[in-house]
Structure 1
Amino acid sequence: MTAALLTGTPLAGRVAVVSGASSGIGAATALRLAELGAKVAVLARRKDKLDELAASISAAGGTVIAIPIDVTGREAVRDAAAEVAERLGTADLVVNNAGVQLISPITDLRQDDWQRQIDLNITGVMNVIGAFLPHLTAAGEAGRPADLITTSSIAATRVLEKFSVYSGTKAYISHLTRLLRVELGPKNIRVATIEPGMVDTELPSHVTDPDASALMEGLLTEIDPLQSADVAETVAFIAASPRHVNLTEITILPTAQAV
């Protein structure tokens, strides 16, 4: 478990939205942001997992709402944004984290897996941006901190066998955030992306190719991987930085990971 770097409630008064919050990085990030004082809306498909997370945050004294949705549905995400505004206020911290990793050789032609990654990792990300950008714009105009933080991956820049489609979706995210900064920076909206290396989450269990799944599980045992809390602490550090400071791209790797 990571050592907590931030103390107190530097995010008090802020309204955070975390997609893909039912497990892994998303759940850890929601917990950490709430611990640091933010009111948090957690979004994901699995209602049971969201309810468990919300109960944990509430038990620790945090303010949270759980909204079970599939972010690939544009209208559902728009409705979620309206619910956040009504129940918590205007969101000024959006963690665009929902994603899936389904690696396999391109020659296997697993086109359903390709499409699922494109739908969630790209379309889902764009739906969250479309729904919550008006919130962030309003926060920036009001002189408040405004953060759009997206979870990418080192796969965005590394050449990794069997990762073609997944890596393509993450490269899209990493470059998108660079382009968004050109438009949104002048509006006082900070845009950042985090590119983690090997993280011990449930993502490897989603891999449908047996050889690829064994490869991922093997890596988790060969090195001391990142924990979700490590990435969550990085998100929190970005959000808690002074408003005029934008930590634009952060790569976070396990010490023992070479590539």
Structure 2
Amino acid sequence: MNYDSLADRTAVITGAASGMGAATAELLAAQGVRVALLARRGDRLTELAEKITANGGRALAVTADVTDPASVAAAADRVHETFGRVDLVVNSAGVMLPNPITDGREDEWARMIDTNVTGALRVIRAFAGDLVEAAAAGRTADLVNVSSIGAHVPFPGYAVYSATKAALTQLSASLRTELGPRDVRVTNIEPGLTETELGGHADSAEHAAQLDEMAAALDPLAADEIADLIAYTTSRPRHLNLRQIIVLPTRQA
């Protein structure tokens, strides 16, 4: 599908080294969007930026860790120096570390909360002014947060992960009350089972096996399909906000 209205926009995409973030960056760049790629794995970002450039797009690789405030601030400076103000932000960085709550894995809890919730907040703080400024100038401005169906549907062993995604979903709803009146759209996307690297974050063999079984049974979504949904959402007329989107494999209840 062609999304002509995206041409000449400037996007920041976190978690761009793989999965939904990388797929979104490629698709947006193919539509004429200048894309700033943010993630911790600089080598992956460089490869993706080179691929996008070779295909005629414009991309900037910025190694950044959303759990580090100074890193996010430096990344924002780099983006502004290269591309100027942005009008599209996709919070796609995330980590999923399933284990029973009785295991008491505070290291995992802290990592998920700092990445999935506080990390998203840091990125929003860094670029919210850009979005407000773009909207005030009459341009389309979008904040897209990638949450999860886990925000609503409980899974054993995923209590903290699901809590972080529920927080992100609620944050998106609350931000609409602040940014919507200023013509900045806020979209919260909650994918079901999707083929990404999230499952590889787990150190639990039991949960890894469960994910494999689910994938075999449910025919999971592809990262490209989530990217397509993000492109569709952000290419709608600026007065129209697709505020909440749940997307599941057909076989997933």
Matches of 1:69 and 1:233, distance apart in 2? 25
- Return the offset for 1:205: 0.9
Give the fraction of aligned pairs with identical amino acids, expressed as a percent: 47
Aligned to 2:214: 219
- Return the offset for 1:38: 0.4
Q: Structure 1 stretches of 5 or more lacking a match? A: 1-5
Task: Calculate the TM-score normalised by the size of structure 1.
Answer: 0.96
Corresponding residue to 1:110 among 87, 90, 105: 105
Q: Which amino acid aligns with 1:88?
A: F
Matches of 1:72 and 1:126, distance apart in 2? 10
Q: Structure 2 stretches of 5 or more lacking a match? A: none
Q: Tell whether the 8 Å contact from 1:121 to 1:169 is kept in structure 2 after alignment.
A: yes
Q: Please state whether the residue corresponding to 1:10 is helix, strand or coil.
A: helix
Is residue 46 from structure 1 mapped to residue 41 from structure 2 by the alignment? Answer: yes
Per-residue CA shift, 1:20-43, capped at 9, x if unaligned? 000000000000110111000000
Is residue 90 from structure 1 mapped to residue 85 from structure 2 by the alignment? Answer: yes
Matches of 1:123 and 1:179, distance apart in 2? 15
Corresponding residue to 1:201 among 193, 196, 206: 196
Aligned to 1:3: none
Aligned to 2:180: 185
Is residue 26 from structure 1 mapped to residue 21 from structure 2 by the alignment? Answer: yes
Q: Tell whether the 8 Å contact from 2:3 to 2:235 is kept in structure 1 after alignment.
A: no
75-84 vs 174-183, which deviates more? 75-84
For these two proteins, the number of residue pairs brought into alignment is: 253
Task: Calculate the TM-score normalised by the size of structure 2.
Answer: 0.98
Corresponding residue to 1:155 among 137, 150, 154: 150
Matches of 1:62 and 1:84, distance apart in 2? 16
Aligned to 1:166: 161
CA RMSD of aligned residues (A): 0.9
Corresponding residue to 2:69 among 70, 74, 78: 74
Per-residue CA shift, 1:52-75, capped at 9, x if unaligned? 111111111000000001011112
Q: Tell whether the 8 Å contact from 2:3 to 2:231 is kept in structure 1 after alignment.
A: no
Is residue 100 from structure 1 mapped to residue 99 from structure 2 by the alignment? Answer: no
Over 6 Å off, 4+ runs = none
Q: Please state whether the residue corresponding to 1:95 is helix, strand or coil.
A: strand
Matches of 1:220 and 1:159, distance apart in 2? 17
